[in-house]
Amino acid sequence: MQNISLLVMAAGIGSRFGGLKQMASIGLDGESIIDYSVYDAIESGFNKVVFVIRREFQKEFKEKISRKYAEKIQLEFAFQELNDLPKGLTCPRERKLPWGTGHAILSASDLIKEPFCVINADDYYGRESFKKIVEFFSKDSKNLSMVYFKLGRTLSPYGGVNRAICTLNNGLLMNLIEKENIQNNNGIIMSNNKSKLDEESPVSLNMWGFRPFIFDHLEEMFIKFFKKNGDDLNSEFLIPTVVNHLIQTQREKVFALNSNSNWFGITHKEDSPFVGAEIQKIVDNGGYPKVLF
């Protein structure tokens, strides 16, 4: 069986949550969502986990999160830094916001030489989703993939969320359109531009099956992004934009993998108790041991 790594994007600020939601406890034994994702990855056959974090909270992250897995799976750490840019680029002095998910993945380029799966630290994807990625890599040796969920199952009752709405055709991802501040108001799902959305629409939640050549694409596109948007202190280099460009220019094929797993996410602080209760139901039904690690 080939080596497969898991890249966990855990460097985001979490402004709507009001803190480092990556480390929020949701389980009875203090487990975070990351704990369940790493457990599912190990059970699905992953060999290594690469955490993309901010350097200033690495000590706390290792103490609260990653030390639990040290003897279970190989661990690596990449640091998403504002000044970690391709040669010749300089970060504006006033910049505070991280450069975005595409830059987060690029920051791990020296640590990954094998097929890998990308996830958000604050999203629960379910074991079936990880198995879908492993199965894809076992059958396909050159293409990329994305696990998708149905929009109606990915909303928060506590506020709006952003989602990348997907267009699919014969199992391939054809297009992604980012919709912001999506909310369900009395059964009607709408985004901030007041467009009505179908609850069955497939959405991306940043669970990607990538190969090491993606780093070349990321660096090339980040340089172009920086030259155009580098002075905008709030601009972000986002992975859906990268993938969309690769599809539209026919440089890569991205296969869409449907997951029937329940998805849970923490966008707002009020989401935590709900997510904890839902995962506890899975524990009670034997999906996880009472103590993960």
On whether residue 228 sits in a domain, the answer given is yes
Say if 289 falls within a structural domain.
no
Mean pLDDT computed over 47-73: 92
Q: How many domains does the chain have?
A: 1
- Say how many C-beta atoms besides its own lie within 10 A of residue 63's C-beta: 11
Retrieve residue 212's tokens: 């090491």
Give the list of residues 6+ apart from residue 195 with CB closer than 8 angstroms, or none. 179
Residue 291 lies in a domain: no
pLDDT at 19 over 60: no
pLDDT tens figures, 134-156: 999 999 999 999 999 999 999 98
pLDDT at 211 exceeding the cut of 80: yes
- Position 44 scores a pLDDT of 98
Asked whether residue 25 is domain-assigned, the answer is yes
199 located within any domain: yes
**CATH code where residue 228 lies:** 3.90.550.10
In a domain, 290, yes or no: no
Residue 10 one-letter amino acid = A
- Residue 24 belongs to some domain of the structure: yes
Evaluate whether 22 touches 10 at the Cβ level (below 8 Å).
Answer: yes
